[in-house]
A and B are shown apart, each in its own frame.
Chain A
Amino acid sequence: MTTSVAESVVCFHCGEPCEDITWLSDKPFCCEGCKTVFEILSANNLCTYYQLDGQAGTSLKNARTGSYAYLDAPEVRQKLLSFDSPDLSRIMFHVPAVHCISCIWLLENLRKLNPGVIKAEVSFGLKTVAIAFDPRQVKLSELASLLAAVGYAPVIALDDGQDTVTKSASGRTLVYKLAIAGFCFGNIMLFSFPEYLGLDQHDGSLKSIFSWLNLALSVPVFFYSASEYFVSAFRSFRQKQINIDVPIAAGLVALFLRSTFDILSGTGPGYLDSFTGLVFFLLIGRWFQGKTYESLAFDRDFKSYFPLAVNRLVDHVWKPAIIYDLKKGDILKIRNMEIVPADSILKDHDALFDYSFVTGEAKPIKIKKGERVYAGGRLIGQPATLTVEKITSQSHLTSLWNNETFRKTEERQYQKIIDRSARKFTWIVIALANVTAGVWYVLAPHQMWLVLTSVLMVACPCALALAAPFTFGSMLRVFGKHGLYLKNADVIERLAAIDAVVFDKTGTVTYGREPVVEFTGDLTGLEREAIKILTAASTHPLSMIISRSIHAAHTHDLSNFKERPGKGVQGVIAGKFIKVGSAEFVGFYEKLDPQASVVFVSVDEEVRGYFTITVKIRPQLKNMLARLGKKCVALLSGDNNADKASMQKVFQPFVTLLFNQDPHDKLAFIQNLQQDGKKVMMVGDGLNDSGALKQSNVGLAISDDSGIFTPACDGILDGTQLNNLDKFLDLARYSSIILKIAFSISFFYNAIALSFAVTGHLTPLVAAILMPVSSISVVGFSTLAVNFVARRKLVRALT
């Protein structure tokens, strides 16, 4: 089939190429949805939207229309609204479609579209819009529908709220600590300079004033900014595990106490500039590493996929009810394309359910009246009523989440490289401190404490603690620039150890969920239209795919429609008798490639050709897989093996190809690999991969649109960047090499400083020079090295 795609024509609203153009005035639109948005905006004099950023809109081609009626239920309102009073309510909507200036402009001008909106404010980073509205004039459901109508459908989840609040609050605390440490560090440096530059003897009083000021300034740093290091060190002591914070805390305490002692006894100016500088640098490292992609969610579970509410029969009236409130025996009404929220029994008529969401198998399953429907099935066709059998939290699908995989903490399974080095380092420091103390006890007992504290002070592995945050933090940013968004910097370390990669098929290896339909043969425009009308009448998956692939007007009526299960459909349109179905059904007897799905067409009993339905595999995937080589271990697909041949072409011969895998099978497969000592990375995209994603050492979710739901994972990879997966793995490995070099640099400085300390020559000036120099050179080295390697690997590859 050759659809005429006018490539030069792009949609005025969303900027996507139009396949069949709908014109309004002189402006082309790709679909009715985009046109409707334009109509709404132009009617309300909001066309500035298009001037700010050309073709700013989001395509509404694949938009799902849902009812927001449940939002008006009092218990839902109460959960969602941040403030509620009779004449003013506030709500925060998460709107993933926000992506440019025009989006901000339109959403903030929402009051022009509906007078009930008092104020709307967009937060671009978080992709949220906070709306204050008058509940007497506009209902919450109308507000959500309005947003959806202009292309900014809100994503509503009842238990989302607190998460983002705590995340931003902990980020803020770190900035407070950083600000105070930086402030005190700067001032203490200033007050320490006169001492270093040489104050005269008769300035003794000035000297002591400066010292006391320094001491006062360092108190908040010790008790507030540095507090988490002490807490962490204490905790690791209690767990009998030494982490990097133990030597840091020891060093900080030694620095502070020794300086306090020096100042109080008037024996010296102390090392307070080194102390505050150390805390300041450490906190910078923590802040740098703490970058997170706030608008992306990495910890969604099945609940995010479920509807929030369904229609429940209460006293002979259908009322929206939250799914958590469903009880056994409740009667529900599910409409076309809605998801069944709980295991239930089908009550009124046979219906088709699409379980692709749970199992990955795209072909809908027919359920007979009285049979059980599992939660997660999507109804296709006529509305159906169901009786709830098990509540959502006990349903078959939810049982996957009760698997122990979902309870484990990631920290337990992985010993961070920084902690392994810290353990060795700590023992060396303790040994060295003891030996030094012993030697000085013999030589000059009155100096022993001074030397011992000096050793602890300079042994403080500040540079060591900075190496990891800056190496991994820089790599995290590099990855983010190239479409790989990791949950946190620790993932890079696990990524570096990966030696087995497992892929999911649909949506991961193949592009999206829509297959490619090609027609071999000749058809007139009218015949194409007739086939569209005919196939649209059937709910068979292949019919639906064909119907969607044909873009033609719908101007004729269908008569004598007949569907023959397992064979095909037939009907009369515009006087032509059309049959669409299997070879036998239309009377075609040549041999064809048996692997692809083929659907034949006959017009007036004359075979006119056939549709070949193949999945579209992502471009350049084969090269990437070849580069991955032996690391690519398996393909796990929930679908049937219809695509086996095309998959064999893409994957190397030694790769295991498994089909008909349900979520539990996938999880078990990963577990088996891990028991063989492999570090496994799972690349998947759907809810059916979520068990495997969670079980694997690194789970990457593929997303072609950052607004779309991704299951719980360690990282989200932009679908277009999948062909760089091997490079990302290489870069992760390079970053551990860089980290090791940075470690040796920091050990080198520590050795120099220790040589001063054990011989008793560690003056405040030496400390004040050595500590910042070591920190800066480690930070500089790791940041530059990461960016250099990334440029060599990624940028060159992309251009």
Chain B
Amino acid sequence: MGIIILLISISLVIAVGFLLSFLWSMKSGQFDDTYSPSVRMLFEDKPEPEHQPEPESQPESANDEKK
């Protein structure tokens, strides 16, 4: 009997803890954008190359073409 009350109070405290952490995460905006963070973590910074690859051939069409 006593043990049930103890267990219930422990479980309630834990559950309330999770509820509060959810409310906090909501408040801090973690659910505002669910897409960008998922791809952001996959981006990597490439090391700067030693030499800049220069475009070799010049454009064939004339540059003064206007739309």
The answer to whether A and B come from one shared complex is: yes
A206 touches B12 (CB 8 A): no
Residues of chain A lying within 8 A (CB to CB) of residue B46: 45, 48
Contact with B along A38-73 (1 / 0, CB 8 A): 000011010010000000000001000000000000
B59 touches A206 (CB 8 A): no
Give Cα A351–Cα B52 distance, bound, in whole angstroms: 49
Residues of chain B lying within 8 A (CB to CB) of residue A26: 57
A108 touches B43 (CB 8 A): yes
**A25-B55, A104-B36, A125-B32 are contacts. A32–B63 as well, Cβ < 8 Å?**
yes
- The segment out of A173-181, A485-493, A656-664, A702-710 that lies at the interface is A173-181
Tell me the B1-59 residues at the A interface (CB within 8 Å).
Answer: 1, 4-5, 8, 12, 15-16, 19, 22-23, 26-27, 31-36, 39-40, 43, 46, 48-49, 52-53, 55-57, 59
A553 touches B56 (CB 8 A): no
Tell me whether A441 is interfacial, beta carbon within 8 Å.
Answer: no
Residues of chain A lying within 8 A (CB to CB) of residue B63: 22, 32
Residues of chain B lying within 8 A (CB to CB) of residue A552: 65
Across the interface, name the chain A residue whose C-beta is closest to B53: A42
Tell me whether A142 is interfacial, beta carbon within 8 Å.
Answer: no
**A23-B60, A213-B8 are contacts. A123–B26 as well, Cβ < 8 Å?**
no
Nearest Cβ distance between residue A799 and chain B, in whole angstroms?
Answer: 28
Give Cα A104–Cα B4 distance, bound, in whole angstroms: 52
Tell me the A159-217 residues at the B interface (CB within 8 Å).
Answer: 168, 172, 175-176, 179-180, 183, 187, 191, 205-206, 209, 213
Nearest Cβ distance between residue B19 and chain A, in whole angstroms?
Answer: 5
Residues of chain B lying within 8 A (CB to CB) of residue A401: none
A104 touches B26 (CB 8 A): no
Give Cα A213–Cα B32 distance, bound, in whole angstroms: 34
Give Cα A551–Cα B66 distance, bound, in whole angstroms: 9
Residues of chain A lying within 8 A (CB to CB) of residue B35: 124-125
Residues of chain B lying within 8 A (CB to CB) of residue A191: 8
Give Cα A108–Cα B31 distance, bound, in whole angstroms: 19
Across the interface, name the chain B residue whose C-beta is closest to A216: B12
Residues of chain B lying within 8 A (CB to CB) of residue A756: none
B61 touches A176 (CB 8 A): no
Tell me whether A5 is interfacial, beta carbon within 8 Å.
Answer: no
What is the predominant secondary structure among interface residues of chain B facing chain A? loop
Give Cα A122–Cα B35 distance, bound, in whole angstroms: 10
Q: Number of residues in A with C-beta < 8 Å to the partner?
A: 45
Residues of chain A lying within 8 A (CB to CB) of residue B52: 43, 45
Give Cα A307–Cα B43 distance, bound, in whole angstroms: 37
Nearest Cβ distance between residue A172 and chain B, in whole angstroms?
Answer: 6
Residues of chain B lying within 8 A (CB to CB) of residue A124: 33, 35-36
Q: Which of B4, B15, B53, B62 contacts A554 (CB 8 A)?
A: B62
Most chain A CB inside 10 Å of its own CB: which residue of B26, B36, B48:
B36
Residues of chain B lying within 8 A (CB to CB) of residue A43: 52
Give Cα A704–Cα B52 distance, bound, in whole angstroms: 39
Q: Number of residues in B with C-beta < 8 Å to the partner?
A: 38
A22 touches B34 (CB 8 A): no
Residues of chain B lying within 8 A (CB to CB) of residue A168: 32
Give Cα A105–Cα B33 distance, bound, in whole angstroms: 15
A555 touches B36 (CB 8 A): no
Residues of chain B lying within 8 A (CB to CB) of residue A554: 62, 64-66
Residues of chain A lying within 8 A (CB to CB) of residue B57: 23, 25-26
Across the interface, name the chain B residue whose C-beta is closest to A100: B39
Tell me whether A24 is interfacial, beta carbon within 8 Å.
Answer: yes
Residues of chain A lying within 8 A (CB to CB) of residue B19: 179-180, 183
Residues of chain B lying within 8 A (CB to CB) of residue A123: 32-33, 36
Across the interface, name the chain B residue whose C-beta is closest to A168: B32
Give Cα A26–Cα B56 distance, bound, in whole angstroms: 9
Residues of chain A lying within 8 A (CB to CB) of residue B32: 123, 125-126, 168
Tell me whether A20 is interfacial, beta carbon within 8 Å.
Answer: yes
Across the interface, name the chain B residue whose C-beta is closest to A102: B39
Give Cα A105–Cα B66 distance, bound, in whole angstroms: 30
Tell me whether A548 is interfacial, beta carbon within 8 Å.
Answer: yes
Tell me the A646-692 residues at the B interface (CB within 8 Å).
Answer: none
Nearest Cβ distance between residue A571 and chain B, in whole angstroms?
Answer: 18
Tell me whether A31 is interfacial, beta carbon within 8 Å.
Answer: yes
B33 touches A175 (CB 8 A): no
Across the interface, name the chain B residue whose C-beta is closest to A536: B66
**A105-B43, A554-B65, A554-B66 are contacts. A24–B33 as well, Cβ < 8 Å?**
no
Residues of chain A lying within 8 A (CB to CB) of residue B49: 45
Tell me whether A157 is interfacial, beta carbon within 8 Å.
Answer: no
Across the interface, name the chain A residue whose C-beta is closest to B44: A48
**A32-B65, A124-B36, A183-B19 are contacts. A42–B55 as well, Cβ < 8 Å?**
yes
Residues of chain A lying within 8 A (CB to CB) of residue B61: 20-23, 553
Give Cα A209–Cα B8 distance, bound, in whole angstroms: 10
A555 touches B23 (CB 8 A): no
Tell me the A450-473 residues at the B interface (CB within 8 Å).
Answer: none
Nearest Cβ distance between residue B3 and chain A, in whole angstroms?
Answer: 12
Tell me whether A101 is interfacial, beta carbon within 8 Å.
Answer: yes
Tell me whether A390 is interfacial, beta carbon within 8 Å.
Answer: no
A206 touches B1 (CB 8 A): yes
Q: Which of B12, B56, B64 contacts A25 (CB 8 A)?
A: B56
Tell me whether A35 is interfacial, beta carbon within 8 Å.
Answer: yes
Give Cα A572–Cα B28 distance, bound, in whole angstroms: 68
Across the interface, name the chain A residue whose C-beta is closest to B12: A187
Nearest Cβ distance between residue B18 and chain A, in whole angstroms?
Answer: 8
A45 touches B48 (CB 8 A): yes
Give Cα A727–Cα B56 distance, bound, in whole angstroms: 54
Across the interface, name the chain B residue whose C-beta is closest to A123: B33
Q: Which of B5, B26, B43 contacts A176 (CB 8 A)?
A: B26
Residues of chain B lying within 8 A (CB to CB) of residue A104: 36, 39-40
Nearest Cβ distance between residue B31 and chain A, in whole angstroms?
Answer: 8
Give Cα A23–Cα B5 distance, bound, in whole angstroms: 77
Nearest Cβ distance between residue A514 and chain B, in whole angstroms?
Answer: 12
Tell me the A289-327 residues at the B interface (CB within 8 Å).
Answer: none
A24 touches B62 (CB 8 A): no
Across the interface, name the chain B residue whose C-beta is closest to A294: B32
Across the interface, name the chain B residue whose C-beta is closest to A209: B5
A22 touches B65 (CB 8 A): yes
Residues of chain A lying within 8 A (CB to CB) of residue B66: 536, 554
A176 touches B23 (CB 8 A): yes
Q: Which of A105, A205, A213, A555 contacts B62 (CB 8 A)?
A: A555
Tell me the A91-138 residues at the B interface (CB within 8 Å).
Answer: 101, 104-105, 108, 121-126
Give Cα A676–Cα B8 distance, bound, in whole angstroms: 67
A residues within 8 Å of B by Cβ? 20-26, 31-32, 35, 42-43, 45, 48, 61, 101, 104-105, 108, 121-126, 168, 172, 175-176, 179-180, 183, 187, 191, 205-206, 209, 213, 536, 548, 551-555
B residues within 8 Å of A by Cβ? 1, 4-5, 8, 12, 15-16, 19, 22-23, 26-27, 31-36, 39-40, 43, 46, 48-49, 52-53, 55-57, 59-67
A-B CB proximity, top 9 nearest: A124-B35, A123-B33, A124-B36, A25-B55, A553-B62, A183-B19, A101-B39, A22-B61, A23-B60
Q: List 27 A-B contacts (CB under 8 A).
A: A20-B65, A21-B61, A23-B59, A24-B55, A32-B63, A42-B53, A45-B46, A101-B39, A105-B39, A105-B43, A123-B32, A123-B33, A123-B36, A124-B33, A124-B35, A124-B36, A175-B26, A176-B26, A179-B19, A180-B19, A191-B8, A205-B1, A206-B4, A551-B65, A553-B65, A554-B65, A554-B66
19 more CB-based (< 8 A) A-B contacts, given A104-B36, A125-B34, A175-B26? A23-B59, A24-B55, A25-B57, A31-B67, A32-B65, A101-B39, A122-B36, A123-B32, A124-B35, A176-B23, A180-B19, A183-B15, A183-B16, A187-B15, A551-B65, A553-B62, A553-B65, A554-B62, A554-B66
